[in-house]
Amino acid sequence: MKARALDSNLQMAHGERQPTRGGRGCPHPARFLLLPLLLFVAGSGPARADTFAVHSERTEIAIDRESGAVVSLKDRQTEREWLAPGGGGRLYAITLRRPGQEPLTVDLTQATAVKVRRVLESVQIQVEAHGDLPLGVRVNLAVDPQWGLLAGRITVKNKTNFAVQAVRFPLLTFPARLGPDADDDRLLLPYCDGLEIHNPEANLTGERAGQYPGAASLQLLAFYDGGGGLLSATFDRDGHRKLLGAERAGEALAPLITHYPALDARAEWTLPYPVILEAFSGDWQAAATRYRAWAERQPWCRTPLRKRKEIPAWAFQPAFYYAVSLRGQAPPDGGDRVERLAEQIAAYRETLGAPVVAMLMSWEKHDTWVTPDYFPPYGGEAGLRALTARLRQEGNRSLVFLSGLKWTLRKQIDGEQFSGEESYRERAEAWAIVGDDGQPQRLGQPEDDVGEHAQICPATPLAGELLSEAVRRCQELGIDCVQVDQIVGGGLPPCYSTTHGHPPGGGNWSARALYALFKRLRQEGRQRNPDFLLLMEEPGEFFIPVLDAYHARDYAEGRWPREGAGVRGVPLFTFVYHDYCLGYGGDSAPLNTSPERANPYQHALNLVSGKLPAGAVWRRWQPAAEVHGDQVALLRNALALLNTPAGEVLLKGRMLPTEPLRAAPLLLRFPGAAAAEERSYPALPFACYALPDGHTVRVVANLGSERQRVEVPIAATGVPGQRLSLTIYVAEGGEVSRRTDSTFTPSSYPVLLSPLSAAIVESTPAGIELVR
């Protein structure tokens, strides 16, 4: 589905404005998510005598001995100073929740009785109080002994009568330009599948933030240019709630790294994970490689995708995910739309040469996204059961979306207003997510696509009952897969209830409850049908082990979650986790009659991102024979390559760093983008994936208008001069040609590609025999 509501209470907890909404209840695109922080300036001298310094091999932080302020954050290799003048004076901001009053926030500038000392290899900042407020703080800065990276932690000693609601740490500000020319400055955000903001000095305005777990699919951010970069990460393995982002303040930028403890009676709270600040050389791939070194040792990476035997085998068989609504435009030659869908889906299978997973949209009883009163489905149970039976008979599958844990209260449907108020009061109000004001939350407006709604708290019995019952009913109708939609990346608003059996506010109880719920749904579904798949909208690292696949948006250039000036997608989540979880190409990749090159380009992005291909018509009646030939050509070629032996590596391998291939750029205008500006993109989308045994594939598509000789790089992954056996697959017109060769590393291999054709250059160390 499109965008989703994350939650405004996180922002409101420390006085930030509530985001406007776009799409289906999502945060406005201007509120992307960033993660713990960074930015820069140039040059700095050695630590002064009035400071204490701590440094890793690459990064040094210096603390004023009197005030505790951070006075320098420096790359020891390049001598680049990242901290803006005066940018470390506040260091933290602690927000106290005062029922019936405005929250109270204090920082280091208000501290009294500050003591700074060296403790072994660390620097410790001890604060006894903040004026008359008996609120103590201890900050510890050291090199993490396991990872060798600069790390910070904070402890709050609260003797006030108020609960600690939010702790922003570290609170640092940075200049907005890395050097004389800002054009090569890049800001990496872990928003959904991943994106960069080019030239953030010009293109980052106001505030962008989101929550983890949620639209922040992982815990990394980086800022860099050709001279190096600074990454920041939180190394949290337990899913604690955070607000991750950044704000623009004049010529400076400040990170929003806010941690949300549970509102319990503890007098002392310690951040249960380190915050990492570390300089690096390279681009976003270098930062992601550093993060992956930590991530692959976490619980969600215990089993790589190639060994996840619990996922049904059919999930890895190349198929086309096709989003089409039960409601919508009638076939022009007459007949019932629902009854005719099976033959339309069969035509797509024939046209594309692959099975279809039909994403049956707008199937719900009342209207699209009206929940949880789903049944009987639109067109009746018999009609939907007949449709799913015919799909299976013809070798296809079916998928439906559930609207997460929403409960529709009011919604405008064809000029009439639907109301779910009575059933909500009778069954759900006591279990709804409660806001900071102590009242059940009501979100959205009746005219929104998800309507006015409440959300059920994931820790309550009703959450399990609603989703478990809905999945069971879907399976009885012959549905093969269910996607828990509108819980983007596993993110839900905080709940402040004192009667739901969880601590109010933050902490990690929400992530743990949702994890347990997904695990239950998957187990129950498999018991009824061993081929059942459970999916989630958008990736989320914490939930990898309890999902079979996720709804990706690697194709979504120019629109949520990648709209905005200077914004370009990067496959960040794929780079870190592709060999641990499976993704498909979303519910909105284009299928239409338009000749715009941006349409097949989106399908090419799904291909090189290692996603199962997808396309959408929703309520339009769009016969396969009328889809523009460029889109059909790219999809046929992508599916043909996935059907080769090399396709398994493309779906299950680890993504490796690459450089863009040399080619004249494409200027593209993406239909449906919020800002219809023309954007520059590589004409030869390219990526590389590998298995641990050295089996490697390089995938490339030609989106230019002319036949091109493409020099595919063959990098040395071990000792240079290694001999590799090559298999070259070229897909053109949906047919694959195959040839073999050999080469030595490092080298390049020439491949001739016609417009809209694609190729895989597969390699194995010479002497290794592949079982075909």
- Last residue of some domain: 298, 319, 336? 298
Residue 501 exposure: Cα atoms within 13 Å on the Cβ side: 9
**Domain membership flag for residue 322:** no
Q: 3-class secondary structure for 20-54?
A: CEECCCEECCCCCCCCCCCCCCCCCCCCCCCEEEE
One-letter amino acid identity for 246? A
Name the DSSP class of 488: G
Strand partners, 127: 114, 137
The pLDDT value recorded for residue 166 is: 96
| Residue 65 · residue 116 · CB < 8 Å | yes
| Cα–Cα distance, 74 to 188 (Å, whole number) | 20
**Domain membership flag for residue 263:** yes
Helices (H), 141-262: 200-203
What lies within 8 Å, CB to CB, of 241 at 6+ separation is 10, 211, 212, 213, 259, 260, 494, 506, 507, 508, 510, 511
Tokens of 1: 């589905």
Residue with tokens 């623009």: 248
- Last residue of some domain: 266, 298, 330? 298
**Domain membership flag for residue 214:** yes
| Cα–Cα distance, 553 to 2 (Å, whole number) | 10
Name the DSSP class of 752: E
DSSP β-ladder status, 614-618 and 51-55: unpaired
| Cα–Cα distance, 457 to 441 (Å, whole number) | 11
- Last residue of some domain: 298, 314, 348? 298
- The CATH number of whichever domain residue 713 belongs to comes to 2.60.40.1180
- 499-533 tens-digit pLDDT: 999 999 999 999 999 999 999 999 999 999 999 99
**DSSP state string for 282-350:** SSHHHHHHHHHHHHTTSGGGSS-GGG-TTS-GGGGS--EEEEEESSSPPPTT-S-HHHHHHHHHHHHHH
The pLDDT value recorded for residue 493 is: 96
Residue with tokens 């901001």: 93
- The CATH number of whichever domain residue 61 belongs to comes to 2.70.98.10
| Residue 277 · residue 232 · CB < 8 Å | yes
The pLDDT value recorded for residue 227 is: 93
Tallying the residues shown for the chain, one arrives at: 772
Alpha carbon distances (Å) from 100 to 17, 162, 382, 437? 19, 12, 54, 9
| Cα–Cα distance, 430 to 544 (Å, whole number) | 31
What lies within 8 Å, CB to CB, of 599 at 6+ separation is 590, 592, 628, 630, 631, 671
| Residue 443 · residue 456 · CB < 8 Å | no
| Cα–Cα distance, 61 to 72 (Å, whole number) | 6
DSSP β-ladder status, 356-361 and 397-402: parallel
Residue with tokens 């072994």: 120
Tokens of 367: 């209207």
**Domain membership flag for residue 745:** yes
What's the distance, Cα to Cα, between the start and end of the chain in Å?
Answer: 38
The pLDDT value recorded for residue 267 is: 86
Strand partners, 366: none
pLDDT < 50: residue spans in the chain:
1-46, 769-772
3-class secondary-structure state, position 730: strand
Strand partners, 220: 233
The pLDDT value recorded for residue 717 is: 74
- 548-594 tens-digit pLDDT: 999 999 999 989 999 888 889 999 999 999 999 999 999 999 999 99
- Residue 677: give the domain boundaries: 666-765
**With a threshold of 0.85, does the pTM exceed it?**
yes
DSSP β-ladder status, 452-455 and 104-107: unpaired
One-letter amino acid identity for 166? A
**Domain membership flag for residue 423:** no
The pLDDT value recorded for residue 47 is: 53
**Domain membership flag for residue 731:** yes
The pLDDT value recorded for residue 675 is: 55
Give the chain's domain count. 2
What sign does the dihedral 626-628-633-635 (CA atoms) show?
A: negative
Tokens of 176: 């907005």
Angle between helices 509-528 and 461-476 (to 10 degrees): 30
DSSP β-ladder status, 397-402 and 481-484: parallel
**Domain membership flag for residue 230:** yes
Tokens of 136: 């103590």
Angle between helices 337-352 and 381-393 (to 10 degrees): 20
Burial 295-330 (b: 16+ CB within 10 A, else e): bbeeebbeebbbebeebbeebbebbbbbbbbbbbee
For 382, counting Cβ atoms within 10 Å of its Cβ (0-12 exposed, 13-18 middle, 19+ buried), the class is exposed
3-class secondary-structure state, position 392: helix
**Domain membership flag for residue 60:** yes
The pLDDT value recorded for residue 251 is: 85
